[in-house]
């Protein structure tokens, strides 16, 4: 099989890129090792920057998002007996939208299966070869057979555990990493969200987040120790702990609504950046090149930003024959990646309570939160990063 752009991975990055290329008249093929049901059920964050919403609308994937997405104008921070709202619209003129990543994946898969380009499920890329020569190819396994996809370009959108990143020779690759000493226990519950906006809380015993999926489904997270077994957290224990953490700073009339828990997952927290994001004719995008801890919900938005740049770069190459935008891609993408990495790190360290936190460290983190609560400039910086920096 031969194509212009071989895309490994059908997460949001691979699917959106395929859609952009298809609309620009550039042929491509997507290889995805899982099946459709699996990728459409995977639970991930669901907070979209305005630029992410625009990118989805621009490829015709905006109708359900516009009908069902929930526009949010700010978030609430709770800490040390106080509650503070950060008003994104007043501070930046921008808003964000709650729409689950699984729904984006469903919308993009439906478009691609209806209109093309080819999307193969159960197709596991095993190696990327020839990236630095004239004939890059992906070796993959599909229906029990080994096959080769010959490409002009290859884009690794195969997530953190994919194979594309390892095709950048180790001697040319630098990785930057930080693991955090806590994880998130996330639940979905069939109950109306207890607040119209997201609530980020730093309780005495750790972080809690109230988010949502729809007017009838709540998404909640709780900081827990690494290695926690969700089975050790019966529903009552989760609700009691959430109650205690959100109580930090709530008004006395606020109550956390409880309902049937339909899913429990554990998410480790990691920062990871791989440089460069290009080796010859191989480009990396999304989680294949970078991971952020989910505090601040930048992962999906960064993946979408990468492929917006790549979509424009391939379109320019197709129209004019110039690789200038492809050449500029690694630098432009990494600039934003590092901004989001720093923002996610700040949000994470400020709002979590690491094991053995010293009194000094606690006071420092509370002081950072208090600064956001009392300074328009500090709040505006949080709002600018949360709602998304401009494209350039
Ligand atoms: N061959 C083919 N497909 C693969 C391979 C492989 N060897 N390895 C992984 N994949 C597939 C995975 O099954 C997955 O569907 O690549 C896809 C990668 O998708 P994501 O992990 O969703 O990554 P990405 O598209 O970059 O989206 C980033 O995901 O982790 C979240 O917070 C992150 O929301 C962000 C988003
Ligand atoms: C989510 O809704 O899953 C979510 C929202 C905001 C975050 C992280 C996760 O910061």
Q: Which ligand is nearest to the CA of 300?
A: 1
Buried b (16+ CB within 10 A) or exposed e, 153-173: bbbbbbbeebbbbebbeeeee
**pLDDT greater than 80 at residue 132:** yes
- 352 part of the active site: no
Atom of ligand 2 nearest to the CA of 212: 2
Give whole-number Cα distances, 310 to 14, 18, 115, 245, 387, in Å. Answer: 11, 11, 21, 42, 21
What does the block give as tokens for 80? 């040390």
* Other CB atoms within 10 Å distance of the CB of residue 331: 12
Percent share of the chain, pLDDT over 70: 99
Q: Tell me if 100 sits within 8 A of 126, measured CB to CB.
A: no
Q: For residue 250, what pLDDT is reported?
A: 65
Decide: 74 in ligand 1 pocket, CB within 6 A.
no
Architecture of domain 2-70+101-178+270-349: 3-Layer(bba) Sandwich (3.50)
Best residue among 45, 193, 208, 386 to mutate for probing ligand 2, ranked by most atoms within 8 Å of CB = 45
* Catalytic annotation, pick one of 200, 279, 293, 329: 200
Handedness of CA 363, 365, 371, 372 (dihedral sign): negative
Question: How many residues are given for the chain?
Answer: 392
Nearest partner of 193 among 217, 170, 158, judged by Cα: 217
Mean pLDDT score, 182-201: 97
Taking the C-alpha atoms of residue 79 and residue 84, their distance in angstroms, rounded to an integer, is: 9
Check if 10 has its Cβ closer than 6 Å to any atom of ligand 1: yes
CATH fold of 180-268+357-387: D-Amino Acid Oxidase; Chain A, domain 2 (3.30.9)
From the CA of 9, give the closest atom in ligand 1.
16
β strands within the chain, DSSP E:
2-8, 28-32, 47-48, 70-72, 74-79, 82-87, 96-98, 119-121, 123-129, 137-142, 145-156, 174-189, 198-203, 206-214, 217-224, 261-275, 278-279, 282-284, 290-291
pLDDT tens digits, 42-70: 988 889 999 999 999 999 999 999 999 99
What is the rounded average pLDDT for all residues in the chain?
A: 97
Q: What is the reported pLDDT for 254?
A: 87
* Intra-chain end-to-end CA distance of the chain, in Å: 36
Query: 12, 117, 136, 294: which is the annotated catalytic residue?
Result: 294
pLDDT at 244 over 80: yes
Indicate if 386 belongs to the active site. yes
Q: 6: Cβ below 6 Å to ligand 1?
A: no
Which of the residues 12, 72, 140, 290 is marked catalytic?
72
Which helix or strand (DSSP H or E) is residue 381 part of?
A: helix 376-387
Mean pLDDT of 217-231: 97
Numbers of helices and strands, H then E, in the chain: 11, 19
Q: Answer yes or no: is pLDDT of 166 > 80.
A: yes
**Residues 6 or more apart in contact with residue 389 via CB below 8 angstroms:** 336, 339
Please give the sequence-ordered ranges of beta strands (E in DSSP) within 241-305, or none if there are none: 261-275, 278-279, 282-284, 290-291
Look up the pTM and report it.
0.97
CA 186 to ligand 1 centroid distance, Å:
20
**Interval between CA 46 and ligand 2 midpoint (Å):** 6
Measured in degrees and rounded to the nearest 5, phi and psi for residue 383 equal -65, -40
Position 392 pLDDT exceeds 80: no
Q: Is the CB of 156 under 6 A from ligand 1?
A: no
Cis-peptide into 174, omega within 30 deg: no
> pLDDT by residue (tens digit) across 74-105?
999 999 989 999 999 999 999 999 999 999 99
pLDDT (0 to 100) of residue 33: 98
pLDDT of residue 45: 87
> What are the residue ranges spanned by the domains of the chain?
2-70+101-178+270-349, 180-268+357-387
Least confident of 147-161, 171-185, 249-263, 269-283: 249-263
Q: Probe ligand 1: pick from 46, 157, 286, 388, max atoms within 8 Å of CB?
A: 286
What integer is the mean pLDDT of 164-182?
A: 98
* CB of 276 closer than 8 Å to CB of 172: yes
Q: For residue 59, how many other CB atoms are within 10 A of its CB? A: 19
Q: Name the region of 225 (left: φ>0; alpha: ψ -120 to 50; beta: rest).
A: beta
pLDDT at 249 over 80: no
Local confidence band at 252 (pLDDT 50, 70, 90 cut-offs): confident
**Residue 73 a catalytic site member:** no
Cα(9) to ligand 1 centroid in Å equals 6
DSSP assignment letter at 339: H
Any catalytic annotation for residue 72? yes
DSSP 8-state symbol, 281: T
pLDDT score for 113: 98
Q: Is 40 in the pocket of ligand 1 (CB under 6 A)?
A: no
Q: How far is 33 from 10, CA to CA, in rounded Å?
A: 9
Res. 248: pLDDT tops 90: no
Positive or negative torsion for Cα 32, 38, 43, 48? positive
Mean pLDDT within 202-218: 96
Tokens linked to 93? 């003129």
- Ligand 1 contacts CB of residue 132 (under 6 A): no
User: Is there a catalytic annotation at residue 298?
Assistant: yes
Residue of 180, 298, 329, 352 marked catalytic: 298
Which CA distances in Å does 27 have to 68, 109, 115, 385?
Answer: 31, 17, 12, 35
What whole-number distance in Å separates Cα of residue 329 and Cα of residue 285? 10
d(CA 369, CA 348): 12
221 three-state secondary structure = strand
How does residue 191 score in pLDDT terms, banded at 50, 70 and 90?
A: very high
Is the pLDDT reported for residue 204 higher than 90?
A: yes
For ligand 2, is residue 295 a contact (CB within 6 Å)? yes
- Beta bridge pairs of residue 148: 139
Ligand nearest to the CA of 294: 2
């Amino acid at each position: 099989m031969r194509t212009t752009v071989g895309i490994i991975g059908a997460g949001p990055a691979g699917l959106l890129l395929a859609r952009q290329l298809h609309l620009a008249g550039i042929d491509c093929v997507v290889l995805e090792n899982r099946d459709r049901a699996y990728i459409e059920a995977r639970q991930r964050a669901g907070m979209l920057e305005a630029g992410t919403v625009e990118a989805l609308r621009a490829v015709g994937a905006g109708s359900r998002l516009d009908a069902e997405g929930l526009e949010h104008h700010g978030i609430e921070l709770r800490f040390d007996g106080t509650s503070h709202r950060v008003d994104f619209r007043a501070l930046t003129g921008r808003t964000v939208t709650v729409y689950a990543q699984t729904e984006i994946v469903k919308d993009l898969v439906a478009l691609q299966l209806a209109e093309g380009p080819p999307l193969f499920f159960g197709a596991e890329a095993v190696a990327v070869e020839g990236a630095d020569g004239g004939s890059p190819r992906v070796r993959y396994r599909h229906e029990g057979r080994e096959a080769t996809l010959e490409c002009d370009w290859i884009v690794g959108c195969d997530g953190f555990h994919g194979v594309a990143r390892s095709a950048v020779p180790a001697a040319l690759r630098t990785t930057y990493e930080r693991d955090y000493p806590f994880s998130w226990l996330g639940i979905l519950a069939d109950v109306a969200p207890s607040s119209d906006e997201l609530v980020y809380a730093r309780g005495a015993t750790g972080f809690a987040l109230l988010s949502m999926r729809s007017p009838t489904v709540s998404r909640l997270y709780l900081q827990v120790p690494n290695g926690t077994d969700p089975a050790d957290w019966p529903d009552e224990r989760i609700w009691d702990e959430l109650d205690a953490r959100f109580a930090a700073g709530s008004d006395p009339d606020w109550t956390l609504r409880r309902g049937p828990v339909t899913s429990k997952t554990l998410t480790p927290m990691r920062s990871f950046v791989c440089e460069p994001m290009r080796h010859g004719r191989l480009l990396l995008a999304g989680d294949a090149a970078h991971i952020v801890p989910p505090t601040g919900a930048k992962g999906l938005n960064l993946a979408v930003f990468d492929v917006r740049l790549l979509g424009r770069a391939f379109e320019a190459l197709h129209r004019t024959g110039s690789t200038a935008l492809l050449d500029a891609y690694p630098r432009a993408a990494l600039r934003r990646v590092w901004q989001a990495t720093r923002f996610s790190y700040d949000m994470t360290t400020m709002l979590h309570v690491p094991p053995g936190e010293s009194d000094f460290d606690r006071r420092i983190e509370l002081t950072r939160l208090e600064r956001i609560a009392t300074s328009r400039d500090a709040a505006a910086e949080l709002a600018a990063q949360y709602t998304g920096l401009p494209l350039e």
